[in-house]
């Protein structure tokens, strides 16, 4: 059953400011995790922070869920558009590709003309073809990655998702799409168990699209759920219970995976799925009318600082690891060869700020020029001038 009520369609398709805050939280988990220099033993006072930084990989999981939710919602709302495929692929290309390929061109084409690349980068640059083709998530677990660009695997996963998912959504009404998402979750679970049984490296379970698509699928399921009128009405009344279920799942996953240990077997099997389900419920709550404490939380997530970080989160993700590997770590070890826990924490904060500043400059002076072109590529209803969905703005970043 598809959404037919225009009022409800507008409600579920609106831009949700709290999602910008969730995107900000995701990047604020990922960046400290990837530039983390804290290693045991650490002072007892720093131990909680160390646990959070070591578990920061879950920010990528949150990004996957959020991407599945936003992209699927956008696709469901534009299924009847005359330019459904053209608008989607062109708009996604304008958001992702200019910055992505510019960074690769600067690194592998322009920089070698003026400077000598770091030895580690020269030793691995023969693998750069996998970066250019968005396939590095399949090769990196087998020593096919490029030094300083290890984080690009998740961008490859999302691009592979974008390539296939519009065709799936076009064929499915929201209810049918829920079943499809359920099948994708089951396939991902089975794939991870099979790879563990075959003694594949844990990095394969972490990076293979087949193994991580339950996060994208559960985000997509959340988008489909709120577009089924009867389900949406029930969810609006059950928002507090949905939030409690998400919290319980997050706590249970943390307890059952030794503090969200990245490559623990429990994490890489059922842990990925339960964590994704918890995040999907969190995202789902943001799309529901809430009161009291939940409304306060949504307002905090929609505060200006978090929304600003959310706006620049893509650039922060692209830039943070090269900044750390090629510049930050070298400077740190020059002045602090054996950094103390406090120095490591200060370094992490400074690198996060640096990533934000570089991303802000990139967005305002470069990326925004491409993003403005997206206004000319709005999905168009049959016989209509254009289908202007506010929620599509939420999927832009």
Q: Could you tell me if residue 62 is inside a domain?
A: yes
* Contact criterion met (CB below 8 Å) for 290 and 298: yes
Which residues lie below 8 Å from residue 77, measured CB to CB, with a gap of 6+?
9, 13, 227, 387, 389, 391, 392
pTM as predicted: 0.93
Q: How far is Cα 10 from Cα 228, in angstroms, rounded to an integer? A: 13
Q: How far apart are CA 100 and CA 96, in angstroms?
A: 6
Query: Of 55, 33, 28, which Cα lies nearest the Cα of 301?
Result: 28
From CA 187, how far away is CA 182, in angstroms rounded? Answer: 9
**Inter-residue contact 71 to 63 (CB < 8 Å):** no
In a domain, 1, yes or no: no
- The whole-angstrom separation of Cα 217 and Cα 122 is 37
* Length in residues, the chain: 397
Residue 241 lies in a domain: yes
Look at residue 106 and tell me if it is in a domain.
yes
Per-residue tens of pLDDT for the chain, all 397 residues: 444 455 555 566 568 999 999 999 999 999 999 998 776 666 666 667 777 788 999 999 999 999 999 999 999 999 999 999 999 999 999 999 999 999 999 999 999 999 999 999 999 999 999 999 999 999 999 999 999 999 999 999 999 999 999 999 999 999 999 999 999 999 999 999 999 999 999 999 999 999 999 999 999 999 999 999 999 999 999 999 999 999 999 999 999 998 999 999 999 999 999 999 999 999 999 999 999 999 999 999 999 999 999 999 999 999 999 999 999 998 998 888 888 888 888 999 999 999 999 999 999 999 999 999 998 888 877 655 444 443 444 445 4
Q: How many domains does the chain have?
A: 1
Residue 300 lies in a domain: yes
Rounded Cα gap, residues 194 and 314, in angstroms: 33
End-to-end CA distance of the chain: 30
Host domain of residue 260:
6-38+45-378+387-395
Residue 193 lies in a domain: yes
């Amino acid at each position: 059953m598809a959404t037919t009520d225009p009022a409800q369609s507008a409600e579920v398709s609106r831009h949700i400011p709290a999602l910008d805050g969730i995107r900000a939280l995701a990047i604020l988990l990922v960046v400290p995790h990837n530039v983390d220099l804290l290693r045991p033993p650490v002072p007892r006072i720093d131990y909680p922070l160390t646990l959070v930084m070591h578990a920061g990989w879950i920010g990528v999981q949150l990004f996957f869920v959020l991407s599945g939710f936003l992209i699927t919602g956008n696709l469901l709302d534009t299924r009847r558009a005359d330019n459904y495929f053209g608008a989607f692929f062109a708009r996604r290309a304008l958001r992702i590709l200019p910055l992505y390929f510019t960074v690769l061109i600067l690194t592998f084409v322009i920089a070698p003309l003026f400077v000598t690349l770091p030895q580690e980068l020269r030793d691995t640059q023969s693998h750069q073809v996998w970066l250019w083709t968005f396939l590095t998530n399949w090769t990196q677990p087998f020593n096919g990655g490029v030094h300083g660009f290890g984080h690009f695997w998740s961008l490859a996963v999302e691009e592979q998702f974008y390539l296939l998912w519009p065709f799936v959504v076009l064929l499915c009404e929201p209810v049918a799409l829920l079943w499809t998402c359920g099948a994708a979750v089951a396939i991902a679970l089975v794939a991870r168990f099979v790879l563990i049984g075959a003694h594949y490296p844990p990095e394969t379970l972490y990076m293979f699209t087949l193994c991580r698509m339950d996060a994208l699928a559960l985000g997509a399921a959340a988008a489909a759920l709120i577009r089924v009128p009867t389900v949406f009405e029930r969810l609006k009344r059950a928002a507090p219970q949905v939030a409690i279920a998400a919290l319980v799942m997050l706590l249970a996953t943390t307890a059952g995976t030794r503090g969200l240990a990245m490559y623990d077997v429990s994490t890489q099997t059922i842990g990925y799925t339960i964590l994704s389900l918890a995040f999907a419920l969190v995202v789902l709550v943001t799309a529901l009318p809430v009161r009291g404490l939940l409304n306060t939380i949504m307002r905090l997530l929609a505060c200006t600082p978090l929304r600003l970080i959310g706006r620049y989160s893509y650039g922060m993700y692209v830039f943070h690891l090269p900044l750390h590997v090629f510049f930050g770590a070298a400077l740190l070890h020059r002045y602090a060869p054996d950094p103390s826990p406090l120095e490591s924490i200060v370094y992490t904060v400074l690198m996060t700020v640096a990533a934000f500043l570089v991303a802000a400059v990139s967005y305002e002076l470069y990326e925004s020029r491409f993003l403005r072109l997206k206004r000319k590529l709005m999905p168009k209803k049959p016989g209509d001038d254009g289908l202007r969905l506010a929620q599509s703005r939420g999927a832009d970043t």
